């Protein structure tokens, strides 16, 4: 059958690969003092230069001392972190910490710790107690405004055997910090950071295994750390301190994280680690999905409905995976555009939105956290 040699419409198809932005959830930066070997790697000679380390033996070889031990401890956790970056400090001074934190601020990490540094009240005789300055710097770093996708949490350990949550005070009371009480000679902060990094953001850290050697606290210590049954995690200033425990109800021997508190359990704060990490993750997903809409979608019925659809593509998979329980998206301007006869005030709001080219959207997400306590009344008749 003859074909028409004249083609009135030509369509040339091309495939353009597209990879959406993704945010890691298991990257760690550990700052600390180290003694490099006689012939250190070229990228580890200068201080404050992050080095990616994937092997515990290499960590101790190239960063002998507190930094190498901390990195190795983080790497051996199961499940473990995605990446562990070692940042060598010249010393433990404020100047060295400031320079290191400035470098870490631009890194794709979600957890930050300082090697071999415990939070303790230290002061000269007769002076008021002062928390460890390096941990204060860490709390300030993780609480500071970060770029999109660079939000992070800090992990710090209390002094060995310290069961007083009152040490968490002032700037240290923040939902961006995780504090752990322990009776170990190892770097518990690095171990817990590695444990947190091994789980997806929405997974509760309660009773997750930590590979570290430690003794357990007694009942009186736990009441002091965690409060009574009516005030779980409620310290005198709203601080939450976790602890390590070997529960007799779990078969075999092992060390587990006794809770999943953040450093602020006060009113309105995000009390649990998974809450902070999940909010960070969802916030990034929404921003990454909507960035392509900037400059393209219009403030019209079709454009704003497209905006809602874009947000649904992020939230609906999370709802189906039971990361979140439900969600609701409200775009006030879209509701006004759908009205048959807007009032003069409503027309002014529409005009203002179009003039300023800004559309407000509100997303309500219901997050159902994991069970942390079960109260059973056993009644014998």
| CA pair distance 102, 111, nearest whole angstrom | 15
SS (H, E, C) 37-55: CCCCCHHHCCCCCCEEECC
Residue 150 · residue 65 · CB < 8 Å: no
For 218, the 3-state DSSP assignment is: coil
Q: Determine the distance from the C-alpha atom of residue 225 to the mean position of all C-alpha atoms in its chain, rounded to a whole number.
A: 23
| CA pair distance 282, 95, nearest whole angstrom | 35
Q: State pLDDT tens for residues 131-155.
A: 588 999 999 999 999 888 899 999 9
- pLDDT per residue, tens digit, the chain (381 aa), is 566 678 888 888 877 666 667 888 999 999 998 876 655 565 565 677 888 999 999 898 888 889 999 999 999 999 999 999 999 888 767 778 899 999 999 999 999 999 999 998 665 444 444 558 899 999 999 999 988 889 999 999 999 999 888 889 889 999 999 999 999 999 999 999 999 999 999 999 999 999 999 998 988 888 888 876 555 555 545 578 999 999 888 888 899 999 999 999 888 889 999 999 999 999 999 999 999 899 999 999 999 999 999 999 999 999 999 999 999 999 999 999 999 899 999 999 999 999 999 999 999 999 999 999 888 999 998
Cβ density class 43-79: b for 16+ within 10 Å, e for less: ebeebbebbebeebebbbbbbebbbbbbbbbbbebee
Beta bridge partners of 153: 111
pTM above 0.75, yes or no: yes
| CA pair distance 63, 371, nearest whole angstrom | 40
Instruction: Name the percent of the chain lying above pLDDT 90.
Output: 62
Q: State pLDDT tens for residues 260-285.
A: 999 998 888 899 999 999 999 999 99
| CA pair distance 241, 181, nearest whole angstrom | 7
């Amino acid at each position: 059958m003859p074909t028409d040699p004249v083609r009135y419409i030509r369509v040339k198809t091309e495939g353009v690969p597209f990879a959406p932005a993704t945010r890691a959830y298991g990257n760690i930066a550990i700052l600390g003092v180290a003694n490099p070997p006689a012939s250190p790697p070229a990228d580890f000679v200068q201080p404050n230069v992050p080095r990616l380390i994937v092997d515990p033996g290499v960590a101790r070889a190239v960063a002998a001392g507190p930094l190498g031990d901390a990195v190795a401890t983080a790497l051996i956790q199961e499940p473990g972190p995605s990446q562990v970056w070692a940042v060598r400090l010249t010393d433990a001074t404020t100047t060295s910490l400031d320079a290191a934190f400035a470098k870490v601020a631009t890194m794709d990490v979600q957890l930050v710790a300082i090697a071999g540094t415990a939070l303790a009240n230290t002061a000269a005789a007769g002076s008021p107690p002062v928390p460890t300055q390096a941990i204060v710097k860490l709390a300030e770093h993780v609480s500071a405004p970060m770029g999109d996708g660079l939000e992070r949490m800090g992990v710090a350990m209390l002094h060995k055997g310290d069961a007083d949550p009152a040490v968490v005070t002032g700037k240290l009371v923040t939902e961006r910090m995780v504090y752990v009480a322990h009776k170990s000679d190892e770097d518990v902060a690095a171990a817990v950071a590695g444990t947190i990094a091994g789980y997806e953001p929405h997974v509760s850290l309660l009773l997750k295994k930590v590979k570290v050697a430690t003794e357990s606290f007694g009942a009186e210590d736990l009441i002091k750390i965690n409060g009574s049954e009516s005030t779980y995690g409620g310290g005198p200033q709203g601080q939450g301190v976790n602890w390590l425990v070997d529960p007799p109800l779990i078969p075999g021997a092992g060390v587990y994280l006794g809770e999943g508190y953040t450093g602020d359990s006060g009113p309105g704060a995000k009390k649990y680690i998974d809450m902070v990490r999940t909010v960070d993750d969802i916030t990034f997903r929404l921003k990454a999905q909507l960035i392509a809409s900037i400059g393209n979608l219009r403030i019209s019925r079709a454009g704003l409905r497209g905006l809602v659809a874009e947000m649904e593509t992020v939230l609906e998979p999370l709802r189906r995976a039971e990361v979140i329980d439900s969600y609701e998206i409200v775009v006030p301007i879209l509701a006004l555009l759908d009205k048959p006869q807007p009032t003069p005030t409503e027309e002014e709001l529409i005009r203002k939105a179009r003039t300023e080219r800004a559309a407000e959207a509100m997303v309500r997400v219901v997050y159902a956290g994991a069970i942390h306590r079960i109260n059973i009344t056993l009644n014998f008749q």
